[in-house]
Amino acid sequence: MKVPVKQTLCVLLSLVIAFSASSVCFAANGKCDCGHTPVVFVDGIGGSLYLVNEDGSRDLVFTPDTDVIVKAVVGLLPVLPLMFFGPTTGVFERALSKAAGEIFEPIRCDENGDSVYNIKPGSGTEVIKDLHYDPDEYYQFAYDWRLDPMVNAQLLDQYIDKVRSVTGHDKVILSCYSEGGEVTFAYLSLFGSAKIEKYVTLCSAFQGLTAVGYIFTGKINVDPKQTYNFLTSFLPAMFGENKGIDFAVKAAKYTGLLHGLCRAINRLIKNDFDSFYEHFALPYFGQMPGIVDFVPQEMYGEVRERLSDPKHAKLLARADQYHDYQANAKQILDEAVDGGMNLCIVSNYGIHVMPFVGNNPYQSDALIDSAKSSGGATMAPVGQTLGSDYKQKVQDGHNHLAPDGSADASTCMFPEYTWLVEGFCHWNRPDELMSWLIGFKGQPTVFTDERYPQFLVGHDINQISPMK
């Protein structure tokens, strides 16, 4: 009797092994024909970062703990009056650099652009097969937003491979927002589009943003008029129309409070920008490749000079590589599209940019220039039109002018594949449009569906309607 039991056990064991082996084979080779291409989403800057301790435990260091922020701010209070009234001794500026340094020390990068401490991002969405059957679900790739987008692109490639293998789909839809546009664009530059069925961008930073260029070049100036314009266009987009907020902003303007605050900030910047740059901005943020790569092409030469110290040679080589891709974006995306990748570019506009860029009313989503995130739209200053005698710059047989005269999309890299949402800031998401673009089988254009023309108006935080 003993022998058959042993044999039975052996057979069972063999079956288990054979079955697990074949099920592995099936998962690796079996194609899924569910009709839902899995979506990989790459979010913007600011994902959680953890400090990995020697025993393997993790501490959240970004976003910093409230206690850490409160302690640093309390330390600043005794010297705060100097910001408004004191002599220009640099005491306040040094205290500010020190306080900010205490908050951000754990996420500092070294002169090469690598993390000083052992930092890891969150784990992102677990790659399980069931998730991709639901068209509203996606796999979120978590990344360390400080680091070289080329390094993150390699990790993204591994994540995409995992999603392809687990779901049984050859290709994924790659969707991104803000800095996710930088990482995914680095991905396409390095790996091409063989694994990408469709690329959908929202407020993408792939061409950089002028505001960051201003910070790196020290051209910061807080203009009271621009601050007022910014607040009155940004706050309603972000939080909806609100009489209380509206009243508070107007009150700040007419009581002179806004003016006084702007003057104090400008005084601070003017007094000691170089010291603040050297002791805080550069070591804490200027050495993060993910942030240096936000500098747009036309300002990069000047920023390179600021980083000309040989100790930054590696950082600079990395930034050069990304800026080389940035300059050749049209060609890189053309190759991807020619290779069969569908492309949808969505850009929010009509909001005044953050007010530290002086009195500069270029169209933005409050953070990123809309001309850049749209891949080259021609835009009137916020609140103005291109003029009644304006003619569409590129005559391609279609109309690419906004009905309200605010923009001309004919100069975009891909005029047929670019949607512009007026009145939405960087943190508004045109959900309905994004779902339609992602769910559409094949390549949608701005003429495919009259509900989603080239120009849309954003309202009520996440609602859209065609611009009339």
Interface ranges with Zn ion (CB under 5 A): 32, 34, 396, 398, 415
Per the CB < 8 A criterion, the answer to whether 43 and 140 are in contact is yes
Dist CA 337 CA 350 (whole Å): 29
Please give the structure tokens belonging to residue 460.
């009520």
Q: Which is nearer to Zn ion, 362 or 440 (CB)?
A: 440
- In the complex, the smallest distance separating the C-beta of residue 378 from Zn ion, rounded to whole angstroms, is 14
Dist CA 366 CA 239 (whole Å): 14
Q: Which is nearer to Zn ion, 32 or 261 (CB)?
A: 32
- In the complex, the smallest distance separating the C-beta of residue 247 from Zn ion, rounded to whole angstroms, is 44
Q: Which is nearer to Zn ion, 121 or 415 (CB)?
A: 415
- In the complex, the smallest distance separating the C-beta of residue 133 from Zn ion, rounded to whole angstroms, is 6
Q: Which is nearer to Zn ion, 171 or 398 (CB)?
A: 398
Three-class DSSP labels, 167-225 = HCCCCEEEEEECHHHHHHHHHHHHHCCCCEEEEEEECCCCCCCHHHHHHHHCCCECCHH
Q: Which is nearer to Zn ion, 266 or 445 (CB)?
A: 445
Helix (H) or strand (E) holding 240: none
Helix (H) or strand (E) holding 466: strand 463-466
Dist CA 71 CA 223 (whole Å): 30
Q: Which is nearer to Zn ion, 254 or 390 (CB)?
A: 390
Q: Which is nearer to Zn ion, 231 or 333 (CB)?
A: 333
- In the complex, the smallest distance separating the C-beta of residue 459 from Zn ion, rounded to whole angstroms, is 27
- In the complex, the smallest distance separating the C-beta of residue 396 from Zn ion, rounded to whole angstroms, is 4
Dist CA 133 CA 113 (whole Å): 39
- In the complex, the smallest distance separating the C-beta of residue 408 from Zn ion, rounded to whole angstroms, is 11
Q: Which residue in the block uniquely carries the two structure tokens 């007419």? A: 254
Dist CA 359 CA 371 (whole Å): 18
The order of strands in the sheet holding 418-422 is 139-141, 39-42, 172-177, 196-202, 342-349, 418-422, 455-459, 463-466
Q: Which is nearer to Zn ion, 75 or 135 (CB)?
A: 135
Q: Which residue in the block uniquely carries the two structure tokens 């340094």? A: 101
The order of strands in the sheet holding 58-62 is 58-62, 49-52, 119-121
- In the complex, the smallest distance separating the C-beta of residue 34 from Zn ion, rounded to whole angstroms, is 3
Nearest to 461 by CA among 425, 419, 434: 425
Q: Which is nearer to Zn ion, 400 or 426 (CB)?
A: 400
Q: Which is nearer to Zn ion, 10 or 34 (CB)?
A: 34
- In the complex, the smallest distance separating the C-beta of residue 167 from Zn ion, rounded to whole angstroms, is 5
Exposed/middle/buried for 209, CB within 10 Å: 0-12, 13-18, 19+?
Answer: buried
Which value, in Å, is the radius of gyration of the alpha carbons in the chain? Answer: 25
For the chain, the residue count is 468
- In the complex, the smallest distance separating the C-beta of residue 137 from Zn ion, rounded to whole angstroms, is 12
Dist CA 366 CA 297 (whole Å): 20
Q: What amino acid occupies position 356?
A: F
Helix (H) or strand (E) holding 202: strand 196-202
- In the complex, the smallest distance separating the C-beta of residue 410 from Zn ion, rounded to whole angstroms, is 7
DSSP three-state, residue 409: helix
Q: Which is nearer to Zn ion, 13 or 34 (CB)?
A: 34
- In the complex, the smallest distance separating the C-beta of residue 158 from Zn ion, rounded to whole angstroms, is 20
